[in-house]
Amino acid sequence: MELKPSGSLKIDTFSMRIGDIEDVELDRLHALSLSVGWPHRAEDWQFLRQSGEGLVALDEIGRVLGSAMWFAHGTDFATVGMVITSPRLQTLGAGQWLMKRVFDKVAGRDLRLNATRAARRLYLSLDFQPEKTVYQCQGIARAQTIVAPANIRGDVRSLGENDIAAVIALDAAGFGVRRAALIEKLFAHSAGYGLFRGDRLSAFALCRPFGRGHVVGPVVAESDPDAVATVRPHVADHSGSFLRIDTHMDNGEFAAFLAHSGMPVFDTVLTMSMGKRLPDFVIGGAATLTTYALASQTLG
């Protein structure tokens, strides 16, 4: 697609200009996400700014009317997220204008994003292709009284600094792209549990503060029971408080576990891609590492 983004856009009776997301106060970004009902706190915005790059749309007096971010992993791949336009501009072409500016910044990379229902038409018009549904599961966590299944081989324990390299390797195998810098940042902000078989890390789940409470992700495992084994301690840790997990799993033991743990499906988004698709959605057998939960809808 040949795209020639302009430096300004005339909208209705006023013009917008592009700014760097780093130059905008966090409270103004927070107000933007609140205007569309997204749960991100100012702290969540700051984490995203530290993890990626982004643009904002500003009017003549500097009000933030839109945003878009990208998170590059190597030279060939990036995820796109936090694409927001204020409600008054959503039908006036502002989202497409922002996305064309993003394309200019990530030229040559394969792209992936998670589209809300309202944004799907926009992304289809930009040649993104549907991949798979993401189920946003959330609610007040409820620790189950049932002990860990007897068929789990190995030991579940808290992750420490010495486990970062193994977590990065498992995430790369499950996701399809190595994203070491992001996993290191997530690790620093998260509590983590891993399933170990001897000295080998076989599965892991991270959990960090986000939005109304905490979010679990990423979760990488070889099977549903292994994924459940690493998420179960997070549910116990946050029993009685708000917990969220974004997963592509719509059936099976893992999906049932989330529902029984107080996290039914609340909403869905659609994973879409442009260029080469990653292999992370394919479960090829018991020995295949799979991404059971996203780091977030923005980060993938």
CATH number at residue 196: 3.40.630.90
Overall pTM surpassing 0.75 (yes/no): yes
Tell me the Cα Rg of the chain. Answer: 19
Q: Please check whether residues 202 and 67 belong to one and the same domain.
A: no
Q: Which residue do the tokens 């997070």 mark?
A: 234
CA atoms within 13 A on the CB side of 247: 32
Q: pLDDT under 50 in the chain at which residues?
A: 1, 284-287
Residue 153 in any domain: the answer is yes
Give 226-244 pLDDT, tens digit per residue. Answer: 999 999 999 999 999 999 9
Among 114, 75, 68, 72, CA closest to 95: 68
Residue 104 in any domain: the answer is yes
Residue 21 in any domain: the answer is yes
Q: At 148, phi and psi to the nearest 5? A: -55, 140
Q: Which two tokens stand for residue 153?
A: 């081989």
Using the 3D structure, point to which of 93, 108, 123 is the last residue of a domain.
108
Cα–Cα distance measured from residue 183 to residue 105, given in angstroms and rounded to the nearest whole number = 23
Residue 37 in any domain: the answer is yes
Q: Please check whether residues 184 and 88 belong to one and the same domain.
A: no
Residue 251 in any domain: the answer is yes
Residue 127 in any domain: the answer is no
Q: At 79, phi and psi to the nearest 5? A: -100, 150
Q: Please check whether residues 277 and 140 belong to one and the same domain.
A: yes
Residue 113 in any domain: the answer is no
255 contact partners, CB below 8 Å, separation of at least 6: 135, 247, 249
Which residue range forms the structural domain that includes residue 152? 135-293
Q: Please check whether residues 144 and 249 belong to one and the same domain.
A: yes
In the prediction, which pLDDT does 49 show? 97
Among 146, 113, 137, 110, CA closest to 217: 137
Q: Please check whether residues 180 and 285 belong to one and the same domain.
A: yes
Residue 122 in any domain: the answer is no
Q: Please check whether residues 97 and 185 belong to one and the same domain.
A: no
Q: Is 198 exposed, middle or buried (0-12, 13-18, 19+ CB in 10 A)?
A: exposed
Using the 3D structure, point to which of 108, 126, 148 is the last residue of a domain.
108
User: What's the total number of domains in the chain?
Assistant: 2
Q: Please check whether residues 12 and 157 belong to one and the same domain.
A: no
Q: Which residue do the tokens 């090829």 mark?
A: 284
Q: Which residue do the tokens 């292994």 mark?
A: 226
In the prediction, which pLDDT does 110 show? 96
CATH of the domain at 62: 3.40.630.30
Q: Please check whether residues 139 and 273 belong to one and the same domain.
A: yes
Q: Please check whether residues 143 and 98 belong to one and the same domain.
A: no
CA 295 and chain centroid, separation: 5
Q: Please check whether residues 27 and 71 belong to one and the same domain.
A: yes
In the prediction, which pLDDT does 207 show? 98
Q: Please check whether residues 147 and 258 belong to one and the same domain.
A: yes
Cα–Cα distance measured from residue 42 to residue 287, given in angstroms and rounded to the nearest whole number = 40
In the prediction, which pLDDT does 279 show? 79
Q: Please check whether residues 32 and 164 belong to one and the same domain.
A: no
- Collapsing DSSP states into helix, strand and coil, what is residue 124? helix
In the prediction, which pLDDT does 103 show? 96
Helix (H) or strand (E) run with residue 265 in it: strand 265-274
One-letter identity of residue 225: P
Using the 3D structure, point to which of 91, 108, 125 is the last residue of a domain.
108
Cα–Cα distance measured from residue 63 to residue 234, given in angstroms and rounded to the nearest whole number = 39
